[in-house]
């Protein structure tokens, strides 16, 4: 192991370094405070606390093999080949260092300035907590040629530290503990749970050999975890069921004073992002400074490289962080002397120095890899660009859908009685003059396909009104909103909500006026609606002729004359009842449906403009200030309207 990981006081341990705190009673009273929980999770945590001490010894450079055994009775045995737990007498407490470490709270984790440079353990509470929560525990230290042993029960020593044998020049620490069933809900260890964590530990500490043995009944087995490649092999392991898109696993390591960073990464053809970050072998699930540094540098390096290699052209937008991380499997592991763990679950690294360290290491090392491996670099950059395009396409689709829903429901005018049909090709909108006719139309309509928008009062003469004033008119705003297609340069016919917009006004001069005003609006601001044939005029009847049960509606004076003559022949001597309709408001809902709205019987006039220039002139003439030509047009407005059917 690297020399900079050595203990600052060198090989010799000094018993004064142990900060004396308190006894173990609080641990048994509130075990959750120290190990998280008393469930199976907390039970396994005990093993990690003990193994962490061995790993600390490995990080300091003195231990290379850790053996973990699940024994027949579900007790745990851990053996390392480190220097051995110190046993010399603590100068103030007049007790063996071993006894202090094992029976005094926090003594195992806090060693002041003379302690380990790098120390793991999520809670940092050490061996004494495990001791407090074990019905039986024993520690043996092999040092100075002797084997020293002490035994405990529920955190209390049951004997003094005693030499029980000799070990030649062998050194190390050997611990056995059996968790207290009074404390834990579950005392059976899971091989798989321990396997996952111990294998992870082996990946994170390259060259460290960890063996796991199960001695229980029919479960007997033994596994060895040892990876010379460390986290590089970890990435390979993570990607074993995936398809990497380039050959090498990129790896770099930078050691600085009392901290170090190691990164391994490889892209697969998948879409998810799998970055695992660690600080002192603890999985920083909530991320933190090191992860931020990595992500920032990763995005920058790829943008810089892709521009320099001219894969990204000047006109192309930058690659987004998400695009660069698509399909990425990466391990970011930092080791530092005073980790600050923050966040909800204390798994977010707070040390700002780690951001800078990982950032600069990534910028230098990753850029060097890309430049030295242009073929692999090209494959990765191409994948990032593809990811970017897919993201952009998805964004556009989302935006479109969002705009559609906004027009669909929320912003529709309150006066609009919409139809249930959502397909514009099957939907009709009746713009009805006057509230009473609007009421009859709402009542009589086919509500599946027919929407009603009643218009109150006169609408603005748009030829004289400016766009802003026109848009301020509620009547016109309601109409534009109901149409859904916008106006002017924002006009988009594809967003039109109805393919038949039917103006339903009285069959008199005022009705014709209103109709003309609306046509002017459409022509000026939505000419395409007329050109594409979406605009119609409803044809309400002028008369109703009844003899007994024979009832006929007529729509023009000529038709009326013809009908009267026919009925006189058919019903000689009988009185023909004639009703003249002066307005839509005189018809009830049923009559309005039968005469004007029912697609099976109605007549619609489709408004067409063959010569747009001429129509423009007509509108100007009609809607301008000169009254006589306008009046004439209104009376003959059917001249530029054609019969639909």
Would you count residue 13 as binding ligand 28F (CB under 6 A)? yes
Q: Take residue 304 and report the two structure tokens written for it.
A: 């810089």
Which residue lies nearer to ligand 28F by CB, 113 or 610?
113
Would you count residue 173 as binding ligand 28F (CB under 6 A)? yes
Q: How far from the centroid of its chain's Cα atoms is residue 441's Cα?
A: 47
Check if 506 is active-site: yes
d(CA 389, CA 243): 21
d(CA 287, CA 343): 9
Q: 366-374 long-range CB contacts below 8 Å, 24 or more apart?
A: 366/250, 366/252, 366/297, 366/298, 366/301, 367/301, 367/304, 367/305, 369/248, 369/250, 369/252, 370/301, 370/302, 370/305, 371/305, 373/248, 374/309
Question: Of residues 253, 510, 531, 598, which has the active-site annotation?
Answer: 510
Closest distance of CB 294 from ligand 28F, Å: 32
Contact pick of 5, 47, 69, 80 for ligand 28F (by CB under 6 A): 80
With CB under 6 A, what is the number of residues at the site for ligand 28F? Answer: 18
Contact pick of 131, 175, 268, 427 for ligand 28F (by CB under 6 A): 175
Would you count residue 17 as binding ligand 28F (CB under 6 A)? yes
d(CA 134, CA 17): 26
- Is 584 in contact with 504 (CB distance < 8 Å)? yes
Contact pick of 5, 24, 44, 86 for ligand 28F (by CB under 6 A): 86
Would you count residue 82 as binding ligand 28F (CB under 6 A)? yes
Among the candidate windows 12-20, 26-34, 336-344, 478-486, which touches ligand 28F by CB under 6 A? Answer: 12-20
Question: Of residues 81, 99, 478, 506, which has the active-site annotation?
Answer: 506
Contact pick of 24, 43, 46, 50 for ligand 28F (by CB under 6 A): 50
Would you count residue 421 as binding ligand 28F (CB under 6 A)? no
Which residue lies nearer to ligand 28F by CB, 144 or 193?
144
Which residue lies nearer to ligand 28F by CB, 21 or 397?
21
Contact pick of 31, 42, 109, 115 for ligand 28F (by CB under 6 A): 115
Which residue lies nearer to ligand 28F by CB, 168 or 573?
168
Contact pick of 5, 45, 57, 301 for ligand 28F (by CB under 6 A): 57
Question: Of residues 80, 81, 200, 433, which has the active-site annotation?
Answer: 433
Question: What SS3 class is residue 558?
Answer: helix
Which residue lies nearer to ligand 28F by CB, 138 or 520?
138
Which residue lies nearer to ligand 28F by CB, 90 or 442?
90
Nearest partner of 98 among 7, 174, 179, judged by Cα: 174
Reported in sequence order, the residue ranges of 461-541 that DSSP labels E, i.e. its strands, are 500-504, 535-538
- Is 81 in contact with 65 (CB distance < 8 Å)? yes
Which residue lies nearer to ligand 28F by CB, 12 or 22?
12
Would you count residue 54 as binding ligand 28F (CB under 6 A)? yes
Would you count residue 67 as binding ligand 28F (CB under 6 A)? no
Would you count residue 330 as binding ligand 28F (CB under 6 A)? no
Binding mask 251-290 for ligand 28F (x = CB under 6 A): ----------------------------------------
Would you count residue 111 as binding ligand 28F (CB under 6 A)? yes
Would you count residue 120 as binding ligand 28F (CB under 6 A)? no
How many CA atoms within 13 Å lie on the side-chain side of 202? 22
Among the candidate windows 37-45, 47-55, 304-312, 413-421, which touches ligand 28F by CB under 6 A? Answer: 47-55
Which residue lies nearer to ligand 28F by CB, 176 or 470?
176
Would you count residue 53 as binding ligand 28F (CB under 6 A)? yes
Closest distance of CB 89 from ligand 28F, Å: 14
Among the candidate windows 38-46, 82-90, 568-576, 627-635, which touches ligand 28F by CB under 6 A? Answer: 82-90
Closest distance of CB 211 from ligand 28F, Å: 13
Nearest partner of 480 among 437, 159, 488, judged by Cα: 488
**Which ranges of 467-507 would DSSP assign to H, the alpha helix?**
467-472, 474-483
Would you count residue 591 as binding ligand 28F (CB under 6 A)? no
Strand order in the sheet with 250-256: 250-256, 259-267, 328-335, 274-279, 282-283
Length of the chain: 645
Which residue lies nearer to ligand 28F by CB, 80 or 428?
80
Task: Determine the angle formed by the axes of helices 40-59 and 191-204, rounding to 10 degrees.
Answer: 30
Would you count residue 329 as binding ligand 28F (CB under 6 A)? no
d(CA 243, CA 225): 24
d(CA 292, CA 576): 90
Closest distance of CB 115 from ligand 28F, Å: 5
Which residue lies nearer to ligand 28F by CB, 22 or 392?
22
For residue 190, give Cα distances in angstroms to 184, 185, 196, 218, 316.
14, 14, 10, 14, 53
Contact pick of 44, 45, 69, 83 for ligand 28F (by CB under 6 A): 83
d(CA 548, CA 160): 123
Question: What SS3 class is residue 25?
Answer: helix
For residue 424, give Cα distances in angstroms to 305, 471, 495, 500.
49, 24, 9, 8
Check if 508 is active-site: yes
What is the secondary structure of 305-340 as a DSSP string?
A: HHHHTTSS-TTSPPPPHHHHHTTEEEEEEEE-SS--
Check if 365 is active-site: no
Question: Of residues 72, 392, 508, 532, which has the active-site annotation?
Answer: 508
| DSSP H/E element including 349 | strand 348-349
Would you count residue 119 as binding ligand 28F (CB under 6 A)? no
The contact set with ligand 28F (CB under 6 A) reads 7, 13, 17-18, 50, 53-54, 57, 78, 80, 82-83, 85-86, 111, 115, 173, 175
Catalytic residues: 433, 506, 508, 510
């Amino acid at each position: 192991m690297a020399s900079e990981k050595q203990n600052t006081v060198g090989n010799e341990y000094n018993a004064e370094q142990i900060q004396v705190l308190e006894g173990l009673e609080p641990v048994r009273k509130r075990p959750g405070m120290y190990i998280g929980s008393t469930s199976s999770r907390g039970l396994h945590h005990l093993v990690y606390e003990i193994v962490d001490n061995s790993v600390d010894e490995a990080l300091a450079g003195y231990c290379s093999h850790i053996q973990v055994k699940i024994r027949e009775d579900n007790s745990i045995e851990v053996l390392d080949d480190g220097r051995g737990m110190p046993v010399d007498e603590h100068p103030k407490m007049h007790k063996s260092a071993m006894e202090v470490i094992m029976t005094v709270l926090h003594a195992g984790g806090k060693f002041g300035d003379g302690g380990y440079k790098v120390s793991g353990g999520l809670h940092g509470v050490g061996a004494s907590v495990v001791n407090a929560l074990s019905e039986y525990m024993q520690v043996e230290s092999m040092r100075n040629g002797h084997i020293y042993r002490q035994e405990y029960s529920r955190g209390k020593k049951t004997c003094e530290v005693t030499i029980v044998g000799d070990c030649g020049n062998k050194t190390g620490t050997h611990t056995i503990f059996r968790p207290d069933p009074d404390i834990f809900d579950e005392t059976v260890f899971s091989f798989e749970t321990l396997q996952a964590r111990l294998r992870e530990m082996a990946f994170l500490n390259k060259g460290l050999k960890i063996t796991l043995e199960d001695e229980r009944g029919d479960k007997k087995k033994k596994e060895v975890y040892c990876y010379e490649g460390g986290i590089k092999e970890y990435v390979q392991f993570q990607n074993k069921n995936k398809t990497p898109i380039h050959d090498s696993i990129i790896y770099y390591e930078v050691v600085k004073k009392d901290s170090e960073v190691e990164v391994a990464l490889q892209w697969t053809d998948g879409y998810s992002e799998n970055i695992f970050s660690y600080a002192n072998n603890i999985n920083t699930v909530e991320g933190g400074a090191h992860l931020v540094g990595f992500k920032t540098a990763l995005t920058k390096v790829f943008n810089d490289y892709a521009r320099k290699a001219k894969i990204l052209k000047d006109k192309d937008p930058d690659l987004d962080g998400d695009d660069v991380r698509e399909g990425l499997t990466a391990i970011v592991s930092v080791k530092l002397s005073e980790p600050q763990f923050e966040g909800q679950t204390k798994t977010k690294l707070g040390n700002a120095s780690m951001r800078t360290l990982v950032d600069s290491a990534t910028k230098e090392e990753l850029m060097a890899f890309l430049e030295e491996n242009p073929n692999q670099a090209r494959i990765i950059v191409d994948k990032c660009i593809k990811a970017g395009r897919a993201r952009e396409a998805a964004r556009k689709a989302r935006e479109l859908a969002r705009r559609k829903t906004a027009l669909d429901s929320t912003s529709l005018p309150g006066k609009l009685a919409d139809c249930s049909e959502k397909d514009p090709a099957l939907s009709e909108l009746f713009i009805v003059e006057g509230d009473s006719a609007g009421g009859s139309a709402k009542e009589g309509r086919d509500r599946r396909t027919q929407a009603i928008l009643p218009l109150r009062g006169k609408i603005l003469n748009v030829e004289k009104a400016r766009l802003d004033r026109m848009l301020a008119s509620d009547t016109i705003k309601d109409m534009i909103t109901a149409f859904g297609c916008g106006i002017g340069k924002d006009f988009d016919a594809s967003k039109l909500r109805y393919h038949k917009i039917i103006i339903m006004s009285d069959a008199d001069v005022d009705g014709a006026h209103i109709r003309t005003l609306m046509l002017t609006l459409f022509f000026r601001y939505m000419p395409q609606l007329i050109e594409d044939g979406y605009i119609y005029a409803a044809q309400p009847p002028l008369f109703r002729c009844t003899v007994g049960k024979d009832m006929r509606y007529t729509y023009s004076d000529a038709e009326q004359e013809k009908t009267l003559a026919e009925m006189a022949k058919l019903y000689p001597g009988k009185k023909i009842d004639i009703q003249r309709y002066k307005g839509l408001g005189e018809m009830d809902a049923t009559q309005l449906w039968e005469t004007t709205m029912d697609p099976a019987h109605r007549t619609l006039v489709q408004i067409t403009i063959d010569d747009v220039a001429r129509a423009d002139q007509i509108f100007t003439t009609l809607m301008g200030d000169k009254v006589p030509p306008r009046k004439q047009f209104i009376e003959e407005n059917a001249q530029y309207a054609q019969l639909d059917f």
